Structure formats: structure tokens, C-alpha cells
Amino acid sequence: MWLLRPPGVYAPQADTDLLIEALHRASIPCGARMLDICTGTGVVALTGARLGVGEVHAVDLSARAALAARWNARLRKLPVTVHRGDFLSKAPGRFDVVTANPPYVPGPKKTRSGRRERSWHAGQTGRDCIDRLCRAAPGLLAERGMLLIVHSALCGPQLTVRLLREAGLRAAVTAYRSQPFGPVLRERASWLEEQGLIAPGQREEELVIVRADLVRPGT
């Protein structure tokens, strides 16, 4: 799919594809409300609209990303409402489906965080945004709502699952995909080895989908 993508906006990659596949496999209720967090070009939100989701919202901290997502929706005449800002303050209400491809690449504390880096750099553990999302998830989801998060196994998928369960959600890793390191991880490989986040010589990462559902006890 051709997408308008200004400089500094995250380009859809294997993690985006994995999230879209998970969205296709999910059972989305008729008339559902959807929120796509860290939307970038908006491609996941556009997928939701194409699948017939009743109301689609997308949010990104980047002004360029919000503009790109808005124009990509308009070019395809898809009903996606785009918000620019932090997902905690810009999410309008609760949702049946929440998708997220947050920044998740670990890096040294001194790493420069310019416009491009903000779309992937997430602190020394890679969890700066993921942890906030886990804590916020119950307030974003409607009853029986579903959250789909994609991130690297370098960030600790089981920690994501545990935090979501502690927040009262039913959570599990539901999909995996291995791929060679891209340019960013290759550049940080020595640091990742020093931190014990990868094995010596490892140059492949595993992407995961974590799904969490808001359900009543006993259901």
C-alpha cells in the first residue's frame, strides 16, 4: 500500500505487518470503536476502517505523523479521526479494540532522541512507553475490549503480560516472528551484548504480539 510518509515518520515494517495480521485474526464486534496508538503513517488504523470497524481513532505524539495519518485516510476516503498528542490525554473514551506499535528499542541513556529516534528509542530497557500503556490499558478498554501490542522480545514480553494481568486483564503472547536486525539494532548490537539483552554474536530478534482482554471475573 502506498503511503504518504514525511521525513521522521516511522516506516511500516515487519512489526507493523505482524500487528495488522493480528488485527485481521481478531474477532472485531459489529460497530466497534478502535484506537490506534503511535499510529505513524496510520496504516493500522486504515486497516481497521477497511475491516469495517464502526469508529476509528488514531493518535501520535508527532505532528508529522498525525498529518501523514490524516492525509492517508483522506486519500483513501476512510473514516479515521486523527489526534496529535499523548495517548493518555487524547484518547476519547473507551474502545473495543486498541492497537499499539510503541517505541520499544533499548538504547544507552545518552542516546540522542531527535525526531526520527523518538519513533523507536524507548530508554535503556525499551519499556518507557510499553509500561505506561500497560498501566493505562484498563482505562482505555470498554467491557470485553481487546488490546493488541507489538514489540521486540528484547523488552521482555512476559513482563508485559504480567503487568497487564496485574492491571486486571487477561493477557498472553499470541504471535511471534523472527527477523534479522535492522540498521538501528545492528548499530546498538555491542551495547545490547554488554547489557546482556542479546547473546554474543546474536543478530536476530523476535517480534511478539501481546493480546489483553478486559473481561469480568468468571467469564
What confidence tens digit (pLDDT) does each residue in 154-193 have?
999 999 999 999 999 999 999 999 999 988 899 999 999 9
Q: Are 122 and 102 in contact (CB under 8 A)?
A: yes
Residue 155: its H or E element = none
Q: Are 9 and 41 in contact (CB under 8 A)?
A: yes
Task: With respect to residue 123, please indicate whether it lies within any of the assigned structural domains.
Answer: yes
User: Domains in the chain: how many in total?
Assistant: 1
Q: Give the three-class secondary structure for 100.
A: strand
pTM given for the model: 0.92
pLDDT of residue 133: 95
pLDDT, tens digit, 9 for 90 and up, residues 71-120: 999 999 999 999 999 988 878 889 999 999 999 999 887 655 555 666 67
CATH number of the domain where residue 106 is located = 3.40.50.150
What nine digits make up the cell of 119?
Answer: 519513533
Task: With respect to residue 205, please indicate whether it lies within any of the assigned structural domains.
Answer: no
Task: With respect to residue 100, please indicate whether it lies within any of the assigned structural domains.
Answer: yes
Q: Which residues span the domain enclosing 103?
A: 14-200
From the list 14, 20, 83, 11, the residue with the least C-alpha distance to 48 is 20
pLDDT, tens digit, 9 for 90 and up, residues 42-66: 999 999 999 999 999 999 999 999 9
